[in-house]
Amino acid sequence: MLKDRHLIDPSDFSLEELNEVFTLAEKIIKNPKEFSHICDNKILATLFYEPSTRTRFSFESAMMKLGGSVLGFSEPNSTSASKGETLADTITMVSIYSDIIAMRHPKEGSARVASLYSNSPVINAGDGGHQHPTQTLTDLLTIKELKGDLKNKVIGICGDLKYGRTVHSLIKAMSRYEGNEFVLISPKELRIPEYIREEILVKNNIKFKEVEKLEDVIDEVDILYMTRIQKERFFNEEEYIRLKDSYVLDMEKMDKAKNDMIVMHPLPRVNEISVEVDKDSRAKYFAQAEYGMYVRMALICKLLGVA
């Protein structure tokens, strides 16, 4: 039962519950009109303490397509947070004015804190370098729709594996499905954090390898998940400048990949996927962002208990 639950970490939902969300998303994709008034009179609050294009707009679009309304902010300085109001008090107030809350915040753990003060379901829309569970729902639905299922895949993840929260969430989530293995491609400075390596991969006997060169392994993967080097999480600008162009996926590299490999990216991209790749039928990152809207529609319905 997902009604009135929070979504803070992808592992908050069982595999059966995730499947419930995906099944509903698939129904919405097939027949969106059937759902166009299902959230009449419901209000989604979007509290974005950090910049966003896809997550905020897709949440807002999702709620509007379900017949509901949206309030919120994308600039915390326009709220009483700028006068020193605590997150706890802001959430207490917003949960009075709305039925469901999606929040992005730069501090790890902030979404969990928000859930303690909210009478409405809280959805973590990204907390610092920690988790981004609705991106994970987006990624899983994309893989399910485009590769048939979520099992027995070789998943290459390339770029900033240290700070990229979508990477941490994706590894945690795909490790729960049978037979998946990972090829982790990053500069040594940006490898996955120790807790992901030890607590998720090693402990669960998941097959993985860590390499530095994309071109050496691109022919092995079923899914190539490219990521941006996360400038905003670096403490040292010189190090960011040194590492920022570590990987550029171009057609020369794409020519070495499998014909049915798919390229994903949570977006925004900077330089890591050359625009020439956009025309390749294996480039699925814009389709992925669209699946993100449908999966958020399904999630809102489930947490509000309307479908």
Q: Report the interface residues with ligand CP, using CB under 6 A.
A: 52-55, 135, 266-268
The backbone torsions φ and ψ at residue 62, rounded to the nearest 5 degrees and listed phi first, read -55, -50
Question: Of residues 6, 42, 54, 144, which has the active-site annotation?
Answer: 54
Return the number of the residue (57 or 117) whose C-beta is nearest ligand CP.
57
CB of 23: closest distance to ligand CP in angstroms? 23
The backbone torsions φ and ψ at residue 215, rounded to the nearest 5 degrees and listed phi first, read -65, -20
Residue 21 C-alpha from the chain's centroid: 15
Return the number of the residue (28 or 267) whose C-beta is nearest ligand CP.
267
CB of 171: closest distance to ligand CP in angstroms? 16
Return the number of the residue (264 or 303) whose C-beta is nearest ligand CP.
264
**Residue-wise burial string across 118-127, b where 16 or more C-beta atoms lie within 10 A, e elsewhere:** bebbbbbbbb
Question: Of residues 42, 56, 65, 132, which has the active-site annotation?
Answer: 132
Is 265 marked active-site?
Answer: no
Question: Of residues 6, 42, 46, 55, which has the active-site annotation?
Answer: 55
Is 83 marked active-site?
Answer: yes
Q: Among 110, 95, 109, 46, which Cα is nearest to 75's?
A: 46
Is 162 marked active-site?
Answer: no
Return the number of the residue (218 or 293) whose C-beta is nearest ligand CP.
293
Is 132 marked active-site?
Answer: yes
Return the number of the residue (38 or 65) whose C-beta is nearest ligand CP.
65
CB of 128: closest distance to ligand CP in angstroms? 13
Query: Are 148 and 124 a contacting pair, CB within 8 Å?
Result: no
CB of 123: closest distance to ligand CP in angstroms? 13
The residues, ordered by sequence, that sit 6+ positions from 227 with a Cβ below 8 Å of its Cβ are 157, 158, 159, 160, 161, 164, 166, 167, 265, 266, 272
CB of 55: closest distance to ligand CP in angstroms? 3
Is 53 marked active-site?
Answer: no
Task: Write out the catalytic residue numbers.
Answer: 54-55, 83, 104, 132
